[in-house]
Amino acid sequence: MLKREVVIDYILECVRELTPEHDLPVVPDSNLIEDLGLESIKILDLLMMLEDHFDLSIPINILIDVSTPAELATALITYLENHHGLV
Amino acid sequence: MGLYDGFSRLAEERQVFQGAGLNPFGTCIDEIYSATRGRIGDRQVILAGTNNYLGLTFDADAIAAAQAALANQGTGTTGSRMANGSYGAHVALEDELAAFFQRPSAIVFSTGYVANLGVISALATPKATVLLDADCHASIYDACALGGAQVIRFRHNDAADLERRMQRLGEGARDALIIVEGIYSMLGDVAPLREIVDIKRRLGGYLLLDEAHSFGVMGETGRGLAQALGVEADVDIILGTFSKSLAAIGGFAVGNDRAMDVLRYASRPYIFTASPSPSAIASVRSALRTIARQPQLRERLWQNAHQLYEGLAALGYQVGPHVSPVIPVMIGTKEQGMRFWRALIEAGVYVNLVLPPAAPSGVTLVRCSVSAAHSPEEVDAMISAFASLRDQNILGTAS
């Protein structure tokens, strides 16, 4: 059972870890690329971190239309609901 | 909104590198003198930024074969194989590739990119799950996107990580496609194929291996990494290109099941692309014969790889993890990389500047590639150029 707040908190923690070069505020609505300068490959790495932390398979396909941590959490939870009946 | 407004950030970034002097992402090699020599602007350079591993771009037999095909069959086929028909030479090359790999099935494509796109997109349907190495080439990612498969990445060259992700799939692992490369193009490192095959044997799945940079380079007869490690029977499909060791343009897939032939009718990138030109096919057929006949080319390539790798390491440069025909030299920042790359051209050596994210792990590197055609003196000249840049403190790191 995954709670949205838990997912978002962990996403924010990962994003901070992936952007050690700056101390910009990382919030749920930060644009991962435009605001935080996260390269596309790092967004894929972020997904791997989520897979390992929550011990789930999460295809990179869910990243279509994801540009913020909040959108990523929504996409992840929607995927899990549709494919595993989780959440 | 303007047509190109969405690219403004990219355009600004590129502008930084176009500001003064040569642009590493739009280099014009004004003249090519040989497999290893060319001219960029007013500078004669040793070409060490190619994929010409066996140095066959100026092979006399390949050129003669291409010239004859040009004269006898014309400049192009002007159509796709499905709609407009195959030439006899396309079919002959497929037979020769199948024989070379000792596999029942081979399909020729118009480029290496299209080979990956064609085979993988046809197999990676929306119902399929693909597990791919995180550092796989863009063509593999693009192919998966075109096919619509569910894509799971595993950490680069980390077989334990692949196994963990396979286990998470449960029963689904049995039908998953695992995709890895032989030699990776930027770091020159090699897939842990034995360990990956072991996982496949235990958990199932199908294994596709892209030998673009390892075909002609590894293995007793040049068939690549799978041959070198003795695991060819466990690799379902090998993908490759004609634009590296075979020194032309085109791509191929060879399969261990005759049924692979059905992809000709299911693969949109195969169906809707013009077929390779007769001259390209002819030079590839010639180069394939040369690879089979001249294992000494591979020996020379590896001698050169050792000479350059060890020479650069002895100078104190941080090089890649393995001796390989692809030798990356890690440089600090993008700006240092730019300065270093331009200074190398001034010193008479052309290599490739690779910035993140094209370079993995956020590093900036200059990618050197050796060829069997480089003479020991040319490799020494490359090492001397790197030595002079170190002595001039081009990177600005000396205290």
Task: Give me the pLDDT at residue B399, please.
Answer: 45
Task: Give me the pLDDT at residue B18, please.
Answer: 72
**CATH number assigned to the domain comprising residue A29:** 1.10.1200.10
CA end-to-end span of chain B: 50
Task: Give me the pLDDT at residue A85, please.
Answer: 62
> Is B310 found in the same domain as B176?
no
> Is B94 found in the same domain as B147?
yes
**pLDDT digit string (tens) for B64-80?**
999 999 999 999 999 99
Find the helix or strand (DSSP H, E) in which B252 lies: strand B251-255
Q: Looking at chain B, which residue has its C-alpha nearest residue A21?
A: B362
> Is B167 found in the same domain as B94?
yes
| Candidates B185, B243, B267, B275; catalytic one | B185
Q: Looking at chain A, which residue has its C-alpha nearest residue B9?
A: A34
> Is B305 found in the same domain as B232?
no
Q: Looking at chain A, which residue has its C-alpha nearest residue B155?
A: A48
> Is B259 found in the same domain as B160?
yes
> Is B96 found in the same domain as B47?
no
How far apart, in whole angstroms, are the C-alpha atoms of residue B184 and residue B344?
24
Mean pLDDT value of segment B217-244: 98
Task: Give me the pLDDT at residue B20, please.
Answer: 65
The reply to whether B185 belongs to the active site is: yes
Interface with chain A: mutation pick from B130, B135, B152, highest number of A CBs within 10 Å: B152
> Closest Cα partner for B47 from B31, B65, B62?
B31
Q: Which residue range is the domain that position A73 belongs to?
A: 4-84
**CATH number assigned to the domain comprising residue B262:** 3.40.640.10
Q: Look up residue B394 and give its two tokens.
A: 């081009």
Is residue B282 domain-resident?
no
Question: pTM for the complete prediction?
Answer: 0.94
In the predicted model, what is the mean pLDDT of chain B? 95
B90-B96-B99 Cα angle (round to 5): 145
How far apart, in whole angstroms, are the C-alpha atoms of residue B80 and residue B177?
28
Cβ B240 vs Cβ B218: under 8 Å: no
Partner B contacted by A38 (CB < 8 A)? no
Q: How confident is the model at residue B24 (pLDDT cuts 50, 70, 90)?
A: confident
- Classify the C-alpha dihedral B31-B33-B36-B41 as positive or negative: negative
Q: Looking at chain B, which residue has its C-alpha nearest residue A34?
A: B9
Contacting A with CB below 8 Å, chain B residues are 9, 129, 134, 150-155, 164-165, 168-169, 356-357, 360
Q: Up-side HSE of residue B242: CA atoms within 13 Å toward CB?
A: 29
How far apart, in whole angstroms, are the C-alpha atoms of residue B13 and residue B357?
13
How far apart, in whole angstroms, are the C-alpha atoms of residue B232 and residue B350?
35
CB interface of A with B, residues 50-69, below 8 Å: 51-52, 55-61
- Identity of residue B197: V
> Is B99 found in the same domain as B46?
no
Q: Which residue range is the domain that position B9 belongs to?
A: 5-57+295-391
Q: Using CB atoms within 10 A of its CB, is residue B320 exposed (0-12), middle (13-18) or buried (19+)?
A: buried
Nearest to A61 among B150, B165, B168 (CB): B150
Mean pLDDT value of segment B72-93: 97
Task: Give me the pLDDT at residue B121, please.
Answer: 98
Per-residue confidence in pLDDT tens, chain A, 87 aa: 678 889 999 999 999 999 877 778 899 999 998 888 888 889 999 999 999 999 999 999 999 989 999 999 999 999 888 876 655
**CATH number assigned to the domain comprising residue B48:** 3.90.1150.10
Contact list, A61 vs chain B (CB under 8 Å): 150-151
> Is B258 found in the same domain as B138?
yes
Task: Give me the pLDDT at residue B19, please.
Answer: 67
Q: Look up residue B334 and give its two tokens.
A: 């993008």
In the DSSP assignment, the letter for residue B183 is: B
Lowest model confidence (mean pLDDT) among A73-77, B85-89, B118-122, B245-249:
A73-77
> Is B127 found in the same domain as B27?
no
Q: How many domains does chain A have?
A: 1
Is residue B36 domain-resident?
yes
- The verdict on a CB contact (< 8 Å) between A55 and B129 is no
> Is B169 found in the same domain as B89?
yes
Cβ B280 vs Cβ B250: under 8 Å: yes
> Is B299 found in the same domain as B271?
no
Mean pLDDT value of segment B238-262: 98
**pLDDT digit string (tens) for B356-384?**
877 777 789 999 999 999 999 999 999 99
The reply to whether B334 belongs to the active site is: no
> Is B132 found in the same domain as B261?
yes
